[in-house]
Structure formats: C-alpha cells, structure tokens
Amino acid sequence: MLDNLEKIALDIKQFDVSNSANLENFRIHFLGSKGIVKALYATLKDVPNENKREVGQLINSIKEQAESKFSIQKEIFENQEVIGNKLDLTRPAQDESIGSRHPLSLVRNEIIDIFNRIGFSVSEGPEIEDDWHNFSALNFPPEHPARDMQDTFFIEKNDIALRTHTSSVQVRVMENSTPPIRTISPGRVYRNEAISARAHCFFHQVEGLYIDKGVSFADLKQTLLYFAKELFGEKAQIRLRPSYFPFTEPSAEVDISCTICNSKGCNVCKYTGWLEILGCGMVDPNVLDACGIDSKEYTGYAFGMGIERIAQLKYKVNDLRLYSENDVRFLKQFTSGF
Ligand code: DAH
C-alpha cells in the first residue's frame, strides 16, 4: 500500500500538463469522480485500524499535491490567455499625466512662504462661522450693511453664516493664544454676489495678524513693503491711502506700483500707475479687548488680501470665473514649483 502511494505521488509529479488538454486529463485521472484519489479513499476502510491514521494522512497529502499542481498550472494558462487575447504588448505605454497646481494654490503657497520667512505661522478657521467671530468681535455695529442678507450667506437665521472674510480667524487666534502672535490665515470666503468676470460668490483671502508690546504702524508699513518686493520684485513700491474698517484704527488701503506697465500707466491700473492689493490697519482696541487681549498692554496690526487679486496681477488673468471652471486648457498653463 505504502509503495503504491509513493508511486502515485511520483506519477503526479511527472504527469505532463504542458497544454490544457493534458491538464484536463490530469484532473480526470487523479481528481475526477472516478479518479485515483477517490479510489484511494475507498480503500481506507480495508486498512487496519492502527494504520488508518497514517495512511489517511498520506492520501490527504497526495490529494493536496494533485490539487496544487492542477491549480497552479490552470492559473498559468489563464494568465497566458489574458495576455494572448486581451493585451497588445506592442502598444506604446500610456502617458502618465502629472497635472499641475492650481494658480490660486501657487499664489497662496508663495504668500505663505514669504511670511514664513519673517516668522509668521499659518492658522486656519472654519468656513461656517457664527456672528461673533465673523462680525461682533470684529467691532461691526449691529446695523452694519455687511451683515445684511445681500452680502452674507446665512445658514441659520442671523447667527450662523458662511464666513465673509478670513478676519474671523484673527478672532479665533486671539481668543486661543497669548501674545506675541504672528500669524497668517489663508482660506476661502463667501459673499452673496452675482457671478461675473469681476466678482464671485466665493473667493480666497489671506489674513495677517501681528500682536505684541509696542507694535506700530511703521512695523506694518515695513512688513508690507517687504512683502511687495518679495512677491513682485525689488522695484515694487507701495503707497497707503487712509480708509475705514470696523476692526482697525487707523485703517489703510495699500496699492503697489503697477506691475504691468511699470507705473507708466495702462488700462489695468487705469492710468494711475498704482494697483490696490490689500486692506490693513492697527487692530482696534475694542477688538483686542473682545478677544481677551489687554489693549492697554498690547498693540497690533492686521491686513487682509484677496488671493485672486494677487493671482490676477501675477498671471494677468482678468476673469475671476476661470479660477473655478476647471478648464484644463487654463489650468495646464501653471506648472511652476511649489
Ligand atoms: N476683512 C477685509 C475684507 O474682507 C480685509 C481686511 C482689511 C482685513 C483690513 C484686515 C484689515 O485684517 O486690517 O475686505
């Protein structure tokens, strides 16, 4: 019996299964319903009880050898079939498309990088905000027009809204940390505007905030000049015009010398030689106090800019809608670093 089993094991090993007809014969011969393995199990009843266990194990192992030889070879044939019938190995490989960063991401990353170099960290806040963080803590009077339905997308009556600016993140940072604070907050903001080449219902801003003892308007000016030169080149100049924001006092709007005509005058700068790029000012003491920072001890400056606006100047893109249409012919043109 044992000799016989050894011989069967050898037969399994040597059986030629090099084509699928042979493989089928192999299956029938060893594993079929009238095959050898089945017959072996049938003989088990004649084996004396004390040998049953050993012989039974040997038969199991023979069965496994046959099954494994069969399935390995079957898989080989199946793979060959796929290669033979469905794959054209002579076809050129498909080009991997690497893609490129969105122009707004490129500009945002560049802004972050410029401010990182002078010690500003990055902080973020939620796009769904409450009235306190978006308006009240920022010294907006209750009847301020920006709170109006016409500008703000409210989610819950008069309290929860999509943030209208990233200044809301200032409030969160001030509430949660102690000065010195030096941070920028990039993010998406929403306003209820009709979509056109010059306006959109969502866009992106970067907010800047610096709070410490003795921070002055001169610090603000120098930081903004540094920023303009890093972004637009050594020749860039800035000018500040008095303005008004509820959360800063005094406030200013900042222009840079026109990057398109080198300040000679063109239709982009409306022949003034200057382009408006951001709003800024000294953080209003009311805002500091509302956020838990002692306005007698600390002062600070803040600024806010639109990323689309900067991108428009850098890339000379004049239609805001292009940024969110996902047209690859537009997006493909922006392949630089970052
Ligand atoms: N939050 C203002 C806006 O959305 C921009 C701004 C202006 C931010 C002056 C500031 C600032 O921090 O000081 O138009």
Strand partners, 212: 299
Ligand 1 near 245 CB (within 6 A): yes
Spatial separation of the C-alpha atoms in residues 328 and 321, rounded to whole Å: 14
Ligand 1 near 248 CB (within 6 A): yes
Sorted by where each begins, the domain ranges of the chain are 2-82, 103-328
Query: Whose alpha carbon is nearest atom 4 of ligand 1?
Result: 165
User: How do strand 238-245 and strand 248-257 relate by DSSP bridges?
Assistant: antiparallel
Ligand 1 near 163 CB (within 6 A): no
CB atoms within 10 A of CB 181: 21
Spatial separation of the C-alpha atoms in residues 185 and 104, rounded to whole Å: 15
Compute, in angstroms, the gap from residue 165 CA to the centroid of ligand 1.
7
Ligand 1 near 279 CB (within 6 A): yes
Ligand 1 near 167 CB (within 6 A): yes
Give me the residue label for tokens 């084996």.
47
Ligand 1 near 281 CB (within 6 A): yes
pLDDT tens digits in sequence order for the chain, 338 residues long = 778 888 999 999 999 998 889 999 999 999 999 999 999 999 988 889 998 899 999 999 999 999 999 999 999 888 876 666 667 778 888 877 777 899 999 999 999 999 999 999 999 999 999 999 999 999 998 888 878 766 899 998 778 999 999 999 999 999 999 999 999 999 999 999 999 888 899 999 999 999 999 999 999 999 999 999 999 999 999 999 999 999 999 999 999 999 878 889 888 888 999 999 999 999 999 999 999 999 999 999 999 999 999 998 888 888 889 999 999 899 988 876 55
Residue 326, CB half-sphere, CA atoms under 13 Å: how many? 0
Q: Check: CB of residue 59 under 8 Å from CB of residue 53.
A: no
pLDDT of residue 259: 82
Query: Whose alpha carbon is nearest atom 3 of ligand 1?
Result: 165
Say yes or no: domain 103-328 is CATH 3.30.930.10: yes
Ligand 1 atom nearest residue 208's Cα: 12
Spatial separation of the C-alpha atoms in residues 291 and 146, rounded to whole Å: 21
